[in-house]
Every structure is written in structure tokens, then in C-alpha cells.
């Protein structure tokens, strides 16, 4: 210990070992992305070509790019590179596994796999040796200049567009040859199915990884600042991008059909968010209200299998379906909302099951003939608004649009309505009263809130929105049958809002998307998918209890103690 200047000088003359290792790993990874990874044809992404970073190699390349940060000491650099290296290793391992598995053994992998594996390990080891600084990357706000508005608008709108574009790519990725919605007892999967699943997983992990790296570099904070300054622009850009989606499908309807179902699912999740996220009432039978709407929509749709034979215009159906469902909500809520917490959850769980069993038995033999029992009300005809037939393909601006785009747009409108209602309610006198009840019911009553009435209102409103979504869903899937309204559906909806973030709209959207899409894309796991699903939920609850997109309030609820000392020091 002679002087402290010597180590510093050494750092300047010879770079740190961590920097060297990380850089070498990243270079190897970039190189490997240009070499073939599969020694056989058939794996998606043209993985046999050299000099072309297709398929999962693109993700490998993308995750090696943060190593460019080695050239300049950015705040949060080490943390960002560690995250990138973790995810990179996962993507490489996963892809190698799937390439080997689909190729019939490790002998059939291409030459690019070896440098990739070595590179990923070097990357990981190197990033762990990087000198860490205490500085956490803070979001940077743009200076108040004349160019700030156009730049920020562009970033905000671009983000909304990018998010949807990524979603669309994921949606369009071939998952498996099995038609979605079929049962899980399938025969052996083809090589292609397995390979496609691997591609999709790598894609999802890469997106999560890039988001993580951006977060560590403080870019997400900057983005939050900017979207917070232009919220309307952000929403409008997202909505326009979503509305433009059908024009990119070249007349195909497969992705649109899935997207429409996700939309309906998301609308129901946002409705449930009122009940659970705002008012704090745990409702485990929520899908029953969705079911009431679906059956109502089916019975008045003019379907040949409907015993009523009534055919109402759809605009009326959706309003009445919501109202009928809301009345069911009142009927169930009035006696049960005196219960709290677990007891309410059990009663609502029971209601959900009663609904399913009842519609299963209203087939004329065990009860009045209304629902066709287990067969449900099927052959629901396509919607028609005036002379516009939802079941026909159309051409707009010279672009072919499949009939699914009509339902997709209908669902988008529904979602926009539900989202607006939720957002406006949550920031109103009613929404504040709900949160107050959730926080402390006795104090809320002492503050002048009629707790029974407000809880009932939340319950009925949630039911109404679910009912409206149900009528739309009946027309999208063309059938209302009891087995669509099982407990697992309620649980999945609940999981969607907990995973996404309680009490937020983007959270409910993201949660609904992930929870709808993952099981669809993970069918190759057969029954294991529920296990994987469960593990994923446990991990998220462990590491991000406030959900993926946390409301300001929930984020502070869970993390305020971490920032408190700093705040006190400032004050």
C-alpha cells in the first residue's frame, strides 16, 4: 500500500479483466450469429445459412449489443451488462437445446453453436467482474427546448407502435400445427412444432431481456417521464397502431382471431380490476358474469339452436347483456358483500360453479329447456350492422381484409370503452371511495362512505363490463357452452391482473396478453404448461410483487421503504 494512484494508472493502461472478457464474449456471440446453427434444414429462421443472422441468431446478436457500453462508462453499465449476459445465456442454451432436440441429437447442430456457447459463458463471467459503481441510472428528462415536443412525441408514439409491432410479430410466429382451442390430449408433435415453440420462447425471453437492460440503463425511466408528459398521445398512438393491425395481415385472419380473443379477455380483466384492484373484493367467480353475458348474447342472436328464437340488434344485445349481468351482480352481491376477504372469495367461487352447473343442466330434461345443456348454444350467426355483414371479407384502400378484422375492430372498440371507463372511474370520487374501502373499511364508513352501496356498485359494474364483453365473445367464438366458464378461467383472469399489475390498465392488458398467449404457444409442453405457468407466477410474485406494470400507488406500497431514507435525507 504505497499509493492509490498506481491501480488507477494500471486501469488506464491495461483494461480491466472483466471488460476484456465481456468484450471477447460479445465478439464471439456476434460472430456466432453469422454462422449456421443447424446442420440440417427445416429449423425455422434459415438457421443453416451463414452470413445471415436469422431466427434466434438475431436475438443472440441483439443481446450482445449492450457490450457497446464498454466503450463508454455509462451509469448502470455493469448492472445492464449482467442482465444482458444472464438473458443471453438463457437464449443461447434454449436455442441450442431446441436445435439439437428437433435435429435428433447434438451431433446435428451447426458450427455457430460452439462459439456461441463459449461466448455466452465469457460474457457472463466477464460481466460479473466489471467494476460496479454505486450510481443507479436515473431517467434523463429532455431540456426544455423548442425541439423537445417533436422529439418526445416521436419517442412516445414510436414506443406505442413498437410495443404493438413486437406483439404482432409474436402473434404471427407459427406456434404449432394444432388448431388453437383443441383439447390437450394430442399425439406426438412434429419437429416443426417443437422448433417453432423454441423460437417463440427465445423471442419472448429476448424482449424481456431487452426491457431489463433498458431499465438498468435508465431508459425506461426516461420513457416513463415522457409518456407521463404526453399520456393522451401515447394512448392515441397505441390505439391507431392497434387499429392498423388488420391492414398488415394480407387478408389472413388467424392472428386477428387470436388478437380479438385476447382483446375480449383483456376487457374482462379490466372489468375484474375494478372489483379486485380498486375495491379490493376478491371475486373468484367472475367468469360467471362473463358467461351470463355470453349466454344472453347467444340466446338473442337468432341462432337456430337458441330456444328463444329472438334476434335483437347487436347494439341492443350488448347493452342488455351488460345490464342482465349487472343485475346478477347485484343479486349475488347484496347478500354476500357483508362477508370479507376469504369468505367473499369462497362464496363467489361457489357462485361461479353454480352458474356452470346450472347452464349445464338447463337442457329440458333436468330443468327448463334454455341452454341446450352441455352442447351450449352454437351456430351463432355473424353480426350485421345495417347492410354491413361482419362475416364477409372486405377490401379497404385496396387492401384485402378478412372477416376476422371486423370482429377485431369491434373488440378494440369494446376495449377502448372499458379502458376509458376504468381510468375515469379510478380517478374520481367513486374510485377514491373504493380505494378507501380497500384500505380501511371502518375508517371509510366513518368518513362518510356508504361502504355497502359502494361495494355493491363495484361488483355490479364489474359484472356489467364482463357481461358486455361476454356478448361480444359469444359472437367472436360463435358458441356459448358451459365448459368455457370453468373456475380455471376465473383464476386466469385474476392471475392476469395480479401478474400485470393491480389497478392499472396497461397491466391488465399485458397480463391478459401473456396469460392468453403463453398457454397457446406452450402447447408443446402438454400438461406441464400449467406447471411452468405456476412457476412463472411464483417467480413474478417473488421478484415483482406489484406486477409487471405497477400503478404508482402499488409501486410505492411495495418499494417505498427502499427510497424513504433518500427522501428523508433530501428533506
Q: Does 10 bind other proteins (CB under 8 A)?
A: no
The CB-based long-range contact list for 134-138 (8 Å cut-off, 24+ gap) reads 135/75, 135/76, 136/75, 136/76, 136/218, 137/74, 137/75, 137/76, 137/79, 137/80, 137/216, 137/217, 137/218, 137/221, 138/75, 138/218, 138/221
Q: Of the candidates 20, 225, 236, 435, which one interacts with other proteins according to CB under 8 A?
A: 435
Rounded distance, CA 68 to CA 25, Å? 12
User: Would you count residue 428 as binding other proteins (CB under 8 A)?
Assistant: yes
How many other CB atoms are there within 10 angstroms of residue 534's CB atom? 11
Q: What is the maximal distance between C-alpha atoms in the chain? A: 95
Task: Tell me how far, at minimum, the Cβ of 448 lies from other proteins, in Å.
Answer: 4
CB-based contacts of 259-262 (< 8 A; 24+ apart in sequence): 259/171, 259/408, 259/411, 260/404, 260/407, 260/408, 260/410, 260/411, 260/476, 261/473, 261/476, 261/477, 261/516, 262/512, 262/513, 262/516, 262/517
Q: Is 433 in the site for other proteins (CB under 8 A)?
A: yes
> In the window 41-60, what residues touch other proteins (CB under 8 A)?
none
Point out which residues pair with 109 in neighbouring strands.
Answer: 38
CA pair distance 188, 523, nearest whole angstrom: 12
User: Which residue of 457, 508, 517, 549 would you call a contact of other proteins, by CB under 8 A?
Assistant: 457
Q: Does 556 bind other proteins (CB under 8 A)?
A: yes
Judged by CB under 8 A, does residue 65 bind other proteins? no
Of residues 20 and 435, the one with the C-beta less far from other proteins: 435
Q: Is 421 a binder of other proteins (CB under 8 A)?
A: yes
**Contact by Cβ (8 Å): 521, 197:** yes
The residue range among 97-105, 213-221, 425-433, 524-532 that interacts with other proteins, by the rule CB under 8 A, is 425-433
| β-pair type (384-385, 394-396) | unpaired
3-state secondary structure of 385: strand
Q: How many residues make contact with other proteins (CB under 8 A)? A: 32
Q: Which is nearer to other proteins, 121 or 327 (CB)?
A: 327
For residue 71, the minimal CB distance to other proteins (Å) is 40
CB of 550 to other proteins, least distance (A): 12
Question: Which of the ranges 43-51, 251-259, 358-366, 435-443 carries the binding residues for other proteins, by CB under 8 A?
Answer: 435-443
Residue 439 binding other proteins, by CB under 8 A:
yes
Asked if 413 touches other proteins (CB under 8 A), the answer is no
Q: Does 279 help bind other proteins (rule: CB under 8 A)?
A: no
Q: How far apart are CA 394 and CA 251, in angstroms?
A: 9
Please report how close the Cβ of residue 433 comes to other proteins at its closest, in angstroms: 6
Applying CB under 8 A, which part among 86-94, 336-344, 377-385, 445-453 lies near other proteins? 445-453
How far is residue 13 from each of residues 19, 143, 333, measured CA to CA in Å?
13, 36, 73
Q: Are 322 and 468 in contact (CB under 8 A)?
A: yes
Closest to other proteins by CB, 356 or 554: 554
Sequence-ordered list of residues with C-beta below 8 angstroms from that of 59, at least 6 positions apart, any chain: 91, 95, 202, 203, 205, 206
| Least distance (Å) between residue 452 CB and other proteins | 9
Contact residue for other proteins among 231, 440, 488, 526 (CB under 8 A):
440
Please identify which residue in 1, 446, 566, 570 interacts with other proteins, judged by CB under 8 A: 446
* SS3 category, 391: coil
Smallest distance, other proteins to C-beta of residue 85, A: 36
- 325-350 burial code (b ≥16 CB/10 A, e <16): bbebbeebbeebbeeeeeebbebbbe
Q: Does 450 bind other proteins (CB under 8 A)?
A: yes
Identify the bridge partners of residue 480 per DSSP, sorted by sequence position: 377
Cell of 241: 397502431
Residue 138 binding other proteins, by CB under 8 A: no
Q: Which is nearer to other proteins, 468 or 474 (CB)?
A: 468
Asked whether position 262 contacts other proteins by CB under 8 A, the answer is: no
Give me 158's grid cell: 414510436
Tell me: does residue 553 bind other proteins (CB under 8 A). Answer: yes
Q: Figure out which of the listed residues 136, 424, 531, 534 binds other proteins, where binding follows CB under 8 A.
A: 424
Q: Does 564 bind other proteins (CB under 8 A)?
A: yes
Give the residue from 5, 119, 33, 16 showing the smallest Cα distance to 77.
Answer: 16
Q: Which is nearer to other proteins, 63 or 550 (CB)?
A: 550
Stretch that binds other proteins, among 210-218, 333-341, 437-445, 542-550 (CB under 8 A): 437-445
Nearer to other proteins, 252 or 452 (CB): 452
Binding site for other proteins (CB under 8 A): 420-421, 424-425, 428-433, 435-436, 439-440, 442-451, 457, 461, 553-554, 556-557, 560, 564
Amino acid at each position: 500500500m504505497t499509493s492509490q494512484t498506481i491501480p488507477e494508472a494500471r486501469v488506464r493502461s491495461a483494461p480491466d479483466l472483466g471488460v476484456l472478457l465481456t468484450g471477447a464474449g460479445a465478439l464471439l456471440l456476434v460472430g456466432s450469429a453469422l454462422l449456421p446453427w443447424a446442420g440440417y434444414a427445416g429449423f425455422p429462421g434459415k438457421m443453416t445459412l451463414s452470413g445471415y443472422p436469422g431466427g434466434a441468431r438475431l436475438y443472440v446478436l441483439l443481446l450482445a449489443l449492450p457490450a457497446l457500453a464498454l466503450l463508454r462508462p455509462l451509469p448502470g453499465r455493469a448492472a445492464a451488462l449482467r442482465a444482458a449476459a444472464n438473458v443471453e445465456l438463457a437464449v443461447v442454451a434454449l436455442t441450442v437445446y431446441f436445435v439439437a432436440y428437433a435435429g435428433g441429437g447434438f451431433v446435428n447442430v451447426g458450427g455457430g453453436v460452439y462459439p456461441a456457447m463459449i461466448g455466452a459463458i465469457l460474457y457472463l463471467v466477464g460481466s460479473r467482474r466489471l467494476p460496479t459503481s454505486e450510481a443507479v441510472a436515473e431517467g434523463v428528462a429532455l431540456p426544455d427546448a423548442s425541439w423537445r415536443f417533436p422529439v418526445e412525441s416521436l419517442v412516445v408514439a414510436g414506443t406505442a407502435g413498437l410495443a404493438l409491432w413486437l406483439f404482432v410479430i409474436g402473434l404471427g410466429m407459427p406456434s404449432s400445427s394444432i388448431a388453437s382451442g383443441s383439447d390437450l390430449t394430442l399425439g406426438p408433435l412434429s419437429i416443426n412444432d417443437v422448433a417453432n415453440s423454441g423460437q417463440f420462447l427465445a423471442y419472448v425471453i429476448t424482449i424481456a431481456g431487452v426491457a431489463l437492460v433498458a431499465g438498468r440503463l435508465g431508459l425506461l425511466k426516461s420513457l416513463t417521464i415522457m409518456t407521463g408528459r404526453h399520456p393522451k398521445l401515447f394512448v392515441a398512438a397505441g390505439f391507431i397502431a392497434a387499429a392498423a393491425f388488420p391492414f398488415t395481415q394480407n387478408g389472413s385472419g388467424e392472428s386477428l382471431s387470436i388478437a380479438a380473443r385476447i382483446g375480449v379477455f383483456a376487457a374482462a380483466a379490466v372489468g375484474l380490476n375494478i372489483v379486485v384492484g380498486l375495491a379490493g373484493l376478491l371475486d373468484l367467480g367472475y367468469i360467471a358474469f362473463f358467461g351470463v353475458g355470453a349466454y344472453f348474447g347467444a340466446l338473442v342472436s337468432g341462432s337456430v339452436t337458441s330456444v328463444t328464437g329472438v334476434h335483437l340488434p347487436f347494439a341492443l344485445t350488448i347493452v342488455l347483456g351488460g345490464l342482465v349481468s349487472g343485475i346478477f351482480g347485484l343479486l349475488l352481491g347484496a347478500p354476500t358483500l357483508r362477508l370479507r376477504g376469504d369468505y367473499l372469495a369462497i362464496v363467489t367461487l361457489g357462485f361461479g360453479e353454480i352458474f356452470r352447473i346450472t347452464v349445464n343442466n338447463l337442457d329440458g330434461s333436468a330443468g327448463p329447456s334454455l341452454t341446450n345443456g352441455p352442447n351450449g348454444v352454437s351456430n351463432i350467426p355473424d353480426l350485421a350492422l345495417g347492410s354491413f355483414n361482419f362475416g364477409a371479407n372486405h377490401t379497404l384502400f385496396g387492401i384485402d381484409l378478412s372477416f376476422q378484422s371486423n370482429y377485431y375492430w369491434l373488440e378494440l372498440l369494446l376495449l377502448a370503452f372499458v379502458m376509458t371507463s376504468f381510468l375515469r372511474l379510478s380517478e374520481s370520487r367513486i374510485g377514491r371511495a373504493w380505494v378507501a374501502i380497500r384500505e380501511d373499511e371502518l375508517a371509510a364508513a366513518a368518513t362518510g362512505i356508504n361502504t355497502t352501496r359502494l361495494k355493491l356498485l363495484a361488483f355490479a359494474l364489474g359484472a356489467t363490463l364482463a357481461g358486455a364483453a361476454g356478448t361480444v365473445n359469444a359472437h367472436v367464438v360463435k358458441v356459448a357452452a358451459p365448459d368455457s366458464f370453468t373456475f380455471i378461467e376465473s383464476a386466469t383472469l385474476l392471475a392476469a391482473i395480479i401478474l400485470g399489475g393491480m389497478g392499472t390498465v396497461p397491466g391488465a392488458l399485458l397480463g391478459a396478453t401473456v396469460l392468453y398467449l403463453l398457454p397457446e404457444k406452450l402447447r408443446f409442453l402438454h400438461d406441464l404448461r400449467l406447471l411452468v405457468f405456476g412457476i412463472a407466477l411464483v417467480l413474478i410474485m417473488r421478484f415483482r410483487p406489484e406486477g409487471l406494470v405497477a400503478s404508482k400507488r402499488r409501486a410505492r406500497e411495495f418499494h417505498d421503504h427502499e427510497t424513504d431514507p433518500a427522501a428523508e435525507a433530501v428533506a
